[in-house]
Amino acid sequence: MTAFLIRRLAFACVTLFAVLTLVFVLVRIVPGDPAQLILGDQASREAIVALRHRLGLDLSITEQYRVFLVGALKGDWGVSMVTGQPVIAEVLRVLPWTIELTLVSLVLGVAAGVPMGVYAAIHRNRFFDYVARIVSLLGLSFPAFVAAILLLLMFAIVLPWFPVISARSGSPTAWFQSITLPAINLGLISAAYIMRVTRSAMLEVLSEDYVRTARAKGVPWPVIIWRHSLRNALIPIITVVGLYLGILIGNSVLTEIVFNRPGLGKLIIGALNQRDYPMLQGMMVIYTMVVVLVNLITDLTYGLVDPRVKLQ
Amino acid sequence: MTKGLTLTAVLALAMTATPALAQKTTLNIGMGSADAGKLDPHIASATPDKGLLQYMFNGLVRIKPGQVSPDFIEPDLAESWESNKAATEWTFKLRHGVQCQHDYGEFTSADAVYSLKRASNKATSSYSNDYSGVKDIEALDKYTVKITLKNPIAGFLGYVANVNGGNMVCKKAAEEMGDGFAKKPVGTGPFEFAEYRPQQYVKLVANKKYFRGEPQIKEIMYRYIPADSSRDLAFQSGELDMIYGKQDQTWYDRTAKLPDTKVVAMEPAEMSTLFLNITQKPLDDIRVREAIAYGVDRKGIVAFKGAGSSREAVSVVPSGYLGTDEYAPLFPYDPAKAKELLKEAGYPNGVTVKTIHTTLTGMQTFIEAIQAQLKKVGINLDIELVEHATYHAQIRKDLSPLVHYQAGRFPVADVYLTQFYDSASTIGTPTAVTNFSHCNVADKEIRAARVETDPVKQKELWKTAQEKIIKAVCGVPVYEQLQLWAWHTNLDLGYDLKGSLNLSPPITEKTHFVK
């Protein structure tokens, strides 16, 4: 187990380094001058040259890379070119919003997707199964931002139950009002994914010999489903949930924008438009770390739900 | 019956007894951007930042709220001013007792001098160019500021008005905070900075010591909402009182139909010009440039963009500026003539012109319409679409022979002519600004007008400059897009809104909600 962790962490470091280098190069290959964008279109060439110097953009690429790596190793991701705030501080300030949204929508997705998937599998090729499959297909193919606008129209304008600006905090009611629509928006898509995977995993398990044996010896049906079958079907479901967490964080970009929530998504779009190099680099590192971490947790969970899986 | 009457009476009584709804004093504004930029008035150039900063700052003079023309200049921090005959020495008498926000003390000539020097310094200002003609700024006494110019500057008062570099910052605050000033800007305006929540809002509160009196609005929540549809929905749900519109006619028409809503297309307009690089093939041939000018149908574009929010360009300088030739000899739409010119130039089968263009929706639909118009006369406009920041970088490297640029400037012809048509502003040079066409035909007139003290002669020089530029087809001005805003009718701005050089409706001490 310890050896496994150490090996995975070493891999994570290599991944991080590769991503860092790639991002460093990529953001600079894209045309666009941060100094020009900060100063605006009326600034003179001289003012822009002066600002480029202050931002260290006039250094050679290799020198910039060296400064960046040395800083990164010391845990210093630099300061945002636009706001002058440390990158880490900016990211940490909005990270809780994104994590909160992602987790709540994932919980919604699991809470809706797993039971529906199980139910659809048990009633394979019956009415509910067809409905569930069609609905989940719709959920997958419907763009998140369209669903978001429809949700707002329905539950903020026609029925004024929730705010359009979903960024309230303070009281539990305010929190609940702010998180509900965005979480449903993201949760619906993950529910669709999880439902489909649960259904197919369950179908496979239900046709196993041990399920037939259990039924033959009179084990109650709910016990067969929830203890014997679902437990064995969990591995693919957990894999999908883990993978999907990464996708969710990415998807949250649009949801955050439409529902006016702060978060990594808005931050990354802003940084991209302004060519805020340090910010982009810092954000990519955070994204990479989150994905690596989620994968690690997913792997560890395998061992928990299925003792046959040994982490070596 | 009696019972019914009693019930009605009780109900009526209960209704009248309900305390009158407290007067609303928080103004929620929705701005179309993801976040704040640099909140320093001497650096900010983007609409969202300028629009917000104007609530916090004053100039020595100001353009009357709701107006955009320099004709409406009136006292702001300066009570009065005078200049010598040559208009090279300006003396401003400051108001007594004006207080800087956040208890930074009285605003005096020391602050004004510091602020103007800060605005002229290229290390601390995006607008340093505007002050290159300033020789000296000095405080004669606590309430007197003297500005000496190297030569007369056209529309000089505009540079000490409450726009861009003319915004007055408080010396002590700016010195104390240094780079941090943008995180807590301090001025003398009706509203003072209270809180910034990244990606959410900037909160301003009423400046109780404002010299024109305490504002009736007590709090401004300036919210950053980048998605047009969400901003509209939040406006409909009543969470926002005033919104920055999606800049197109369909938005204008749709929003105007909402109940209790006022929609305004305000000045200053941003003018769309096609700049033609006179040094690159095939545009180095004036006949090709003329063909483009004849091939563009300005009326058609305005019909396409919507007459409520746009209008035809009148000259190479936007309409309404001091010095604009409102009847400039622009090329008429004449497709036959355009084809003929192309043939003459040796392109009987048509010619291809390349342009690098942004994907910003409003601009992109425009260039596609132009592409369709030019196609009819045999000009194939090859559009390379790139994202906005890339577009800005590439057009400054001479990579785009035809540049479509949309801009409004301080409404004095000199600013537009200098930045877009003076050869000193040619892109790629050390003094580059935005002369994309490499135009150099009117340098003499532009520069002479800049220092001309006789207003009649000055206008004459500007007129000649515009004629020469049009004749040489350095740029083909097409249409002007007004700024679209909407607010609920329970908000009374306290003045008549024609426009705002700071690009958002001013919120003054008189602005208030009516029941």
| Model ipTM value | 0.81
Which residues are B197's β-sheet partners? B201
Inform me whether the C-beta atom of residue B399 falls under 8 Å from chain A C-beta atoms.
no
Residue A229 structure tokens? 């079958």
pLDDT of residue B18: 41
Burial label, A125 (beta-carbon count in 10 A; 0-12, 13-18, 19+): exposed
What is the average per-residue pLDDT within A144-159? 90
Which residues are B426's β-sheet partners? B435
Residue B316 structure tokens? 């190479």
DSSP state of A208: S
Residue B140 structure tokens? 């004669």
What is the average per-residue pLDDT within A165-194? 86
Which residues are B276's β-sheet partners? B402
Q: What number of CA atoms fall less than 13 Å from residue B471's CA on the CB side? A: 9
What is the average per-residue pLDDT within A174-186? 89
A312 band by pLDDT with thresholds 50, 70 and 90: low
Q: 3-class SS at B430? A: coil
What is the average per-residue pLDDT within A175-196? 89
pLDDT of residue A151: 92
From chain B, the residues in CB contact with A257 under 8 A are 34, 226-227, 230
DSSP state of B500: -
- Nearest 10 degrees: CA dihedral of A157, A158, A162, A163? 10
Of B180, B239, B390, Cβ closest to residue A32: B390
Of B38, B122, B225, Cβ closest to residue A260: B225
The set of residues, in sequence order, having a beta carbon less than 8 Å from that of B158 and lying 6+ positions away, is B70, B73, B166, B410, B411, B412
Give the whole-angstrom CA distance, residue A237 versus residue B458. Answer: 77
pLDDT digits (tens, 9 = 90+) for A30-69: 777 888 777 777 777 777 888 888 778 888 888 888 888 8
CB A219 within 8 A of CB A228: yes
Query: Between residues A251 and B91, which one has the greater pLDDT?
Result: B91
Of B314, B304, B235, residue with least CA distance to B480: B314
Cβ–Cβ gap A164/B129 under 8 Å: no
Residue A151 structure tokens? 């949700």
Own/partner long-range contacts of A139-143 (Cβ < 8 Å, ≥24 apart): A139/A188, A139/A189, A139/A191, A139/A192, A140/A189, A140/A192, A140/A193, A140/A196
pLDDT of residue B15: 41
Helix then strand count (H, E) for chain B reads: 14, 19
H or E stretch including B439?
Answer: none
Cβ–Cβ gap B43/A39 under 8 Å: yes
Instruction: Give me the residue label for tokens 């629509």.
Output: A181
H or E stretch including A98?
Answer: helix A87-122
Chain A residue whose CA is closest to B228: A258
AA letter at B62: R
Q: 3-class SS at B112? A: helix
A279 band by pLDDT with thresholds 50, 70 and 90: confident
Instruction: Give me the residue label for tokens 């630099």.
Output: A78
- Could you list the mean pLDDT of each consecutive 10-residue stretch along chain B, which spans 515 residues? 44 42 86 86 87 95 92 94 91 95 95 95 85 92 94 86 94 90 92 90 95 96 91 94 90 93 93 95 94 96 91 94 93 95 93 92 90 95 89 90 92 92 91 92 93 88 96 96 94 94 94 90
From chain A, the residues in CB contact with B268 under 8 A are none
Inform me whether the C-beta atom of residue B86 falls under 8 Å from chain A C-beta atoms.
no
Which residues are B435's β-sheet partners? B426
CA distances from B113 to A155, A279, B37, B126 (A): 54, 36, 26, 18
Alpha-carbon dihedral sign for residues B244, B247, B249, B254: negative
Give the whole-angstrom CA distance, residue B358 versus residue B364. Answer: 7
Of A31, A90, A269, Cβ closest to residue B34: A269
Of B38, B179, B429, Cβ closest to residue A82: B38
CB contacts < 8 A (A, B)? 146
Of B179, B237, B393, Cβ closest to residue A33: B393
From chain A, the residues in CB contact with B241 under 8 A are none
Cβ–Cβ gap B239/A165 under 8 Å: yes
From chain B, the residues in CB contact with A45 under 8 A are 429-433
The set of residues, in sequence order, having a beta carbon less than 8 Å from that of B218 and lying 6+ positions away, is B25, B26, B205, B206
Burial label, B1 (beta-carbon count in 10 A; 0-12, 13-18, 19+): exposed
Which residue of B126, B228, B231, B416 to mutate against A (max A Cβ within 10 Å)? B126
pLDDT of residue A82 exceeding 50, the answer is: yes
Tell me how close the Cα of B39 comes to any Cα of chain A, in angstroms.
9
The set of residues, in sequence order, having a beta carbon less than 8 Å from that of B45 and lying 6+ positions away, is A39, A40, A41, A42, A43, B126, B164
Backbone angles phi, psi at A173, to 5 degrees: -65, -45
Give the whole-angstrom CA distance, residue B241 versus residue B490. Answer: 9
pLDDT of residue A87: 86
CB B60 within 8 A of CB B76: yes
Of A37, A152, A259, Cβ closest to residue B392: A37
pLDDT of residue B153: 83
Q: What ranges make up the beta strands (E) of B214-338?
A: 219-224, 242-244, 261-276, 310-312
